[in-house]
Amino acid sequence: MINQPISMWAEEDRPREKFQTKGKHTLSDSELIAILIRTGSGSKSAVDLARELLLSVDNNLHRLSRLSPEELSRSKGIGISKAIAILAAFELGNRKVVPEKLTSSKITSSKMVFDTLRFLLADLRHEEFWLLLLDRSNKLITKLQLSKGGVAGTVVDPKLVYKFAVDHLASGIILAHNHPSGNLKPSEADLKLTSKIKKAGELLDIAVLDHIIFSNQGYFSFVDEGIM
């Protein structure tokens, strides 16, 4: 079936028909991507293009999801529209993992913080710093992005942390940022910043409940590791 239009394939082998008659679990990664990109290019079918795209990232879906639309569209036969369709599907998958009603639940563990922010932070190629504001019952009031930086770091102003906390009448805060390198160990700068923000919070009677570091490997909790 290589280099043959999908319309010439046996009906049971066509990705859309296979999805409908045999179930989504029967499709390969390349067949699922082919459904997203819809059409082939030249003599190559959508499945051929999808296979080539996966080969370019060593069949690693995580690596594929971290590409930008511009990087994806450099693959032959994958224009910007097809690239965006693929990345949109990854983003929907990321959002699906967030438990329902989590934002109205009491935050009781680092895992709940991870689930709240993972779709925003886990796959980024630059560093971002986020703030979770909680009420006296540890229910989430809101989440805010404090800063956005480069691969090596981002700048956070403690004054902004507490401006937002006071504006929202928060009783507790949780700090969160990501390490694009994948290294979950807190840097010296991370430790100093956490200590500085925690001390400032004591004066305002606003508790710093945790600081979570995200990467594509998982997360690191200051509280769980006993360093807060």
For residue 1, pLDDT over 50 is answered with no
CB-neighbour burial class of residue 154 (10 A; exposed 0-12, middle 13-18, buried 19+): middle
Query: Could you tell me the CA-to-CA distances from 204 to 86, 129, 175 in Å, in that order?
Result: 46, 21, 16
- Could you tell me the pTM of the whole model? 0.64
Please tell me the least confidently modeled range out of 109-113, 131-135, 150-154, 180-184.
150-154
For residue 98, pLDDT over 70 is answered with no
Order of strands across the sheet that contains 140-148? 140-148, 128-134, 172-178, 207-215, 218-221
For residue 26, pLDDT over 80 is answered with yes
Position 200 scores a pLDDT of 93
Please tell me the least confidently modeled range out of 9-13, 33-37, 116-120, 127-131.
9-13
Position 30 scores a pLDDT of 92
Class of the domain covering 102-221: alpha beta
Share of the chain above pLDDT 90, in %: 52
Q: List pLDDT tens digits, range 68-92.
A: 899 999 998 999 999 999 999 988 8
Paired residues of 132 in beta bridges: 143, 174
Helix-, strand-, coil-residue percentages of the chain, each rounded to 5: 45, 20, 35
Q: Tokens for 219? A: 């997360």
For residue 16, pLDDT over 80 is answered with yes
Share of the chain above pLDDT 70, in %: 89
Q: Tokens for 54? A: 């996966």
Give me the residue spans of the domains in the chain.
6-96, 102-221
Q: For residues 105 and 111, what is the distance between their CA atoms, to the nearest angstrom?
A: 13
Q: List pLDDT tens digits, range 111-146.
A: 999 988 887 887 788 899 999 999 999 999 989 999
Q: List pLDDT tens digits, range 218-227.
A: 899 999 999 9
What is the second-level CATH architecture of the domain 6-96? Orthogonal Bundle (1.10)
Domains 6-96 and 102-221 share a fold: no
Phi-psi region of 58 (alpha: psi -120 to 50; beta: other; left: phi over 0): left
Position 102 scores a pLDDT of 52
In angstroms and rounded to an integer, the radius of gyration of the C-alpha atoms of the chain is 22
Position 152 scores a pLDDT of 60
